[in-house]
Amino acid sequence: MPHTHAPCAAALAALWLAAPAFADPLPSWNDTGAKSAIIEFVEAVTDPASDDYVTPEDRIAAFDNDGTLWTEQPVYFQALYALDVLQEKAKADPDILTTDALKAGAQGDVGGVLATGMDGLLEVINVSHSGLTVDEFQADARDWLMNYTHPTTEKPYIEMVYQPMLELLSYLRDEGFTTYIVSGGGIDFIRAFSEETYGIPPWQVVGTEGNTSFEVVDGLPMLTKNGGVTFIDDKEGKPVGIIRHIGRKPIFAAGNSDGDFAMLQYTTSGEGPSFGLLVHHTDAAREFAYDRDGHIGTLNRGLDEGPGFGWTIVDMAQDWAKVFPTD
């Protein structure tokens, strides 16, 4: 990308004067109740004169990743990456295919892997992710996200992020929030792209953790991924991951499935202002429509109980004017 010179002070002043006095912080959101609720909450907790004022150090916002910040259909992107890696490994060593899930994965049979349940999916991820240093793994994952394309949209996976949520992340940070990802996805996988894609640095990513070891090879210290899972940051694990990595309860939490229920419940419990948000996938034309019976991203409790907790349920078809940045 070519370098550009920073604009001079006079040019910046001209741009400022030409800009609207009150620019819309969420331009890809339609003017519906969801947008109004978000802005009203942010204004309340950032106004020192408000009874709901929250100091900047306590303005913690936690976001799920899959299905909340980017697409999770037809299956989690990390699983699709794992399948591609597994197929390459199986060509070199077919003896690694010791289970039904691994055999299905080597054939590219996503349905066959999903039929074996979460245990089968973890088997595929364990085998495909092991034997690399953390640096090698993250470089390979980043390359895959940028160069492989989604089977339905044919967009690079890295472009399957939600423009309205990018705006929300930016808006919150502009208002003194610290934004975190709290995901069931692998922590090393998300850290490979989170800063460039979401503006969230690696140390603000909470995710599922695997076995990692330190060793010195030919005089070079390195961290190697060994397969296996040591902590699953999903469902009731999300509040645990928050307290382990963040050490402070969020006042804003966003998710899209019942895997995020405990995180939103934890965030909105107790005294003080808080905000819970669920992205409801209702837009089959621009993205996908699914909720209660989905093979992933199942949303039952959130739809049934969320309104009673005062959570805002975002209807993607109605509340978002735009879905992807490249639309």
What domains, with CATH codes, occur in the chain?
24-72+152-319 (3.40.50.1000), 77-132 (no CATH)
pTM of the predicted protein model: 0.91
Q: How far is CA 60 from CA 41, 42, 181, in A?
A: 13, 12, 11
If pLDDT is split at 50, 70 and 90, which confidence band does 110 have? Answer: confident
Q: What is the pLDDT of residue 206?
A: 98
Q: What average pLDDT does the structure give for the chain?
A: 92
Q: Nearest 5°: CA angle at 158, between 155 and 160?
A: 60
Amino acid in position 285: A
Helix (H, G, I), strand (E, B) or coil at 294: coil
Section 139-152 average pLDDT: 96
Section 251-275 average pLDDT: 98
Q: What is the pLDDT of residue 119?
A: 85
Contact between 263 and 305 (Cβ < 8 Å): no
Q: Which residues of 304-326 are buried (b: 16+ CB within 10 A; e: fewer)?
A: eebeeeebbbbbbbebbebbbee
For 269-323, write each residue's pLDDT tens digit: 999 999 999 999 999 999 999 999 988 999 999 999 999 999 999 999 999 999 9
Query: What is the Cα–Cα distance from 260 to 233, expressed in whole angstroms?
Result: 10
Q: What is the pLDDT of residue 111?
A: 87
Q: What is the pLDDT of residue 68?
A: 98
Query: What is the Cα–Cα distance from 208 to 82, expressed in whole angstroms?
Result: 15
For 155-200, write each residue's pLDDT tens digit: 999 999 999 999 999 999 999 999 999 999 999 999 999 999 999 9
Strand order in 60-63's β-sheet? 220-231, 205-217, 178-186, 60-63, 252-255, 275-280, 312-315
Q: Nearest 5°: CA angle at 168, between 166 and 171?
A: 110
pLDDT at 209 exceeding the cut of 80: yes
Query: What is the Cα–Cα distance from 168 to 160, expressed in whole angstroms?
Result: 16
Contact between 126 and 78 (Cβ < 8 Å): no
pLDDT at 17 exceeding the cut of 80: no
Percent of the chain with pLDDT over 90: 83
For 47-101, write each residue's pLDDT tens digit: 999 999 999 999 999 999 999 999 999 999 999 999 999 999 999 999 999 999 9
Residue closest to 79 by CA, chosen among 186, 158, 180? 186
Query: What is the Cα–Cα distance from 2 to 11, expressed in whole angstroms?
Result: 20
